[in-house]
Structure 1
Amino acid sequence: MTEIAQRYRRCADVVERTIAGVRDDQWANPSPCAAWTARDVVGHLLDMHGHVLRPAGRTLHPEPAVRDDPLGAFRLARAEVAAVLDDPELAGTECDTPAGRMTVERQIDGVLTNDLVLHGWDLARATGQDDTMPPEDVARLWAANAAVPAELMAKYRTPGAFGPGVEVFGPEVPVAEDAPLQDRLLGFIGRDPNWTPPGQLPDQLPA
């Protein structure tokens, strides 16, 4: 198993546990992503699984739907992606992306795996679960984003630059320079690390 395949599985494990921890009455909770509920966050992650599968000639099975079984839908989607990563020919297929031409494996790593880390935080925060990101992923994402050229980063922050309704990062949220790296990363990508669901105080969040 390659390092990329291992990283994807590890990050998917975290998100799967978070999805499994969502109570039935929490799926309509607002999330740190404006206009998205907790269920919408999972729906986005499933859409991204479908996106990275297309260059490999694969598609997601339409059932179960996220509206009916978010956990089942995620488990099926991650199995499809894992199968591609485990096939050297499919993983090595080249495709065109906004960041340039690369292999399917690299696109999965740079787009989907990173999305799992960041949106895993969104889902955990929306549903009152432990939202601590793995430190190695925080450090990796911080270094990767710091290396993005300013022109491309500006495009990432421009709604619709990569297609209708697509917004990669929001406007940067100011965070203290001495704040934990996770908070600084969240602020950089446009999240307020102190966001709490309406009606909930910051000190009511899980430690």
Structure 2
Amino acid sequence: MIPAGPAEEHRSIAGTFGERVRGVAADGWDAPTPVAEWEARDVVRHLVEWFPAFLADGSGLRLPAGPPVDDDPVAAWEQHAAAVQAVLDDPASAGITFAHPRLPAMPLPRAIAEFYTGDVFMHTWDLARATGQDDTLDAERCRVMVQGMEPLDEMLRQSGQYGARVPVADDAPWQDRLIGFIGRDPAWPRP
């Protein structure tokens, strides 16, 4: 089920990702992931590092820096997620226009939901699969994402944000379709 509103959506998705972050064994942060050349800690690093600059470029808002991912991936994620949640929970955020140079202007909460929260959702699978945790994603959210991205396939591939599509059966579960769409093998075996 998809929560109503960007703040609740982030709270739910970031909360699930946080559970996976806290579930990584102490020696599990070096585990390979379905993303080529990434280890488990790199999934957290990606989310913690790309979004602050994106947010600042489009809104002028700056998130407080947290501890380095290499020192403490759990603390780095938790501080980052709390800072994003604080932005979404602030009633003033609804009145801020996100105006990134390469995107159409939109309300800040919508920009966070579309570009960041969706990324957290997809990377939950990467971290869970890499570290042997439950990698089940919400099937309805997967369906909505796949159907929303399908018309943008060529543009998304050209952006470099997704790898080559991994073919899956037409009747595959929505999670497998999403994972294949973003360039991961849904059957990726944990080494």
Structure 1 length-normalised TM:
0.83
Query: Does residue 190 of the first structure (1) align with residue 177 of the second (2)?
Result: no
Query: 2:13 aligned with 1:7, yes or no?
Result: no
- For structure 1, which segment, 137-146 or 182-191, has the greater mean C-alpha deviation from structure 2 after superposition? 137-146
- Structure 2 residue 38 is matched with structure 1 residue 45: no
The answer for the alignment partner of 1:157 in structure 2 is 157
| Cα drift, residue 157 of structure 1 | 1.1
Matching residue within 143, 163, 170 for 1:170: 163
**Aligned runs of 1:1-207 on 2, under 5 Å?**
3-54=5-56, 55-94=58-97, 95-96=99-100, 98-148=102-152, 153-158=153-158, 161=159, 167-198=160-191
Identity among equivalent pairs (%): 42
Which secondary structure state, in structure 1, belongs to the residue aligned with residue 27 of structure 2? Answer: helix
Q: Distance in 2 between matches of 1:2 and 1:96?
A: 25
TM superposition shift of 1:108: 0.5
Assess, with a 3 A threshold, how the Cα gap between structure 1 residues 23 and 97 changes in structure 2: closer, same or farther. farther
Counterpart secondary structure, 1:169:
coil
Return the offset for 1:30: 0.8
Q: What TM-score, normalized by structure 2, do the two folds share? A: 0.89
CA RMSD after TM alignment: 1.9
Deviations 1:119-169 (A, max 9, x none): 010000000000000123212212211343xxxx323213xx4xxxxx311
The one-character-per-residue Cα deviations of 1:29-56 (angstroms, maximum 9, x if unpaired) are 1111111110001000112331343133
| 1:52–1:108 CA contact under 8 A, matched in 2 | no
Bigger shift: residues 133-142 or 103-112: 133-142
Give 1:99 deviation, angstroms: 4.2
In structure 2, list runs of 5 or more residues that go unmatched.
none
Uncovered stretches (5+) of structure 1, i.e. residues with no partner: 162-166, 199-207
Question: Per-residue deviation at 1:69?
Answer: 1.1
Post-superposition offset of 1:106: 1.2
**Structure 1 letter corresponding to 2:104:** G
